[in-house]
Copies of this chain bind each other. A is one copy, B any other.
Amino acid sequence: MFESFVTNSKKQLEATMTATLQQLPDVNPRHQAALDYSLAAGGKRIRPLLVLATATLFTSDLKAAMIPAMAMEFIHTYSLIHDDLPAMDNDDYRRGRLTSHKQFDEATAILAGDGLLTLAFEQLATAPHLSETARIKLIRLFAYAAGPSGMISGQQSDIEAETRAVSLPELAQIHSQKTGALLQASVCAGAIVGGANMSEYQLLENFATKIGIAFQIQDDILDVIGDATKMGKQTGMDAQLNKSTYTSLLTLAGAQQQLTAYTEAAYALLEQLPYDTAYLEALTAMIAEREA
């Protein structure tokens, strides 16, 4: 059931992304290749799945949710391309493939990221099956989450935190901006598309905060005990760089305990909703138990 939801959703998402890229007029061929390359890298598609799974609480018709799901994946992919640049994390590989600036060159990678971010908003503005009010809400939501008050400041703070010790509250703040904001916006987007009422929206927003933290704790745990082959990248980098993480601040056992606590809190919130939340529960488990 959940497996077929994931398989079908990813298939539809990928078909929508391909169709969207193919119909863009006047695109420079190298830029087009760079967009295709990064979007085809696959991955778990957790953010679009959160958009779609949240929308399924309210409707079985996912047509209206597909463009917001895609726009979120565009923004996430852009953030990875820029994050991997030599001036940022300087990663040569992601998901076992060359990063954009290694496959192409730095200028092409910077522009690919810029192009995807811009395209996300263009697609939201023209999304079919959504009222203008819903489109405006989604643009505002995504721009706030991805902008100076969200992901961008998280990214800047994360870079600065590499060269100094960070307290647990600071670490939580950095991650709530760097990764939490987009995860939360994904769930909220599904709630907007589905037409959630105010109390449902707030509950889902709260749920999204919990899974955002769980996501980052598991990220830090994987850097300690993860399988580098499965992850398609080196592990042990945080310790090598002497970076403050949930595992360095809480110990591995302490981090695992916190992961369980946040996951349980997320499940408890879902139980308060009068809907079938099986997909969101399964996505929560996917986030907390993922191996890559």
Contact = CB atoms under 8 A, between A and B. Distances in A.
Query: Per DSSP, are chain A's interface residues mostly helix, strand or loop, or mixed?
Result: helix
A197 interface: no
A24 B28 CA distance: 35
A253 interface: no
Copies in the complex: 2
A24 B119 CA distance: 24
A127 B120 CA distance: 19
B153 A139 contact: no
22 contacts: A24-B148, A25-B149, A26-B177, A27-B149, A28-B153, A28-B157, A30-B160, A87-B105, A88-B107, A88-B110, A115-B147, A115-B148, A115-B152, A117-B117, A117-B118, A118-B147, A119-B143, A121-B143, A122-B147, A124-B139, A125-B140, A136-B136
A125 B139 CA distance: 6
Interface residues of A, number: 53
A148 B82 contact: no
A25 B117 CA distance: 21
Contact of A148 (B32, B124, B135, B144): B32
Interface string A23-45: 01111101110010000000000
Contacts of A107: 85, 87-88, 156, 159
A124 B143 CA distance: 10
Contacts of A24: 148-149
A138 to B, nearest CB: 9
B156 A30 contact: yes
A14 interface: no
A146 interface: yes
Interface string A106-146: 11101101110111011011100000110110011001101
B155 A143 contact: no
B118 A153 contact: no
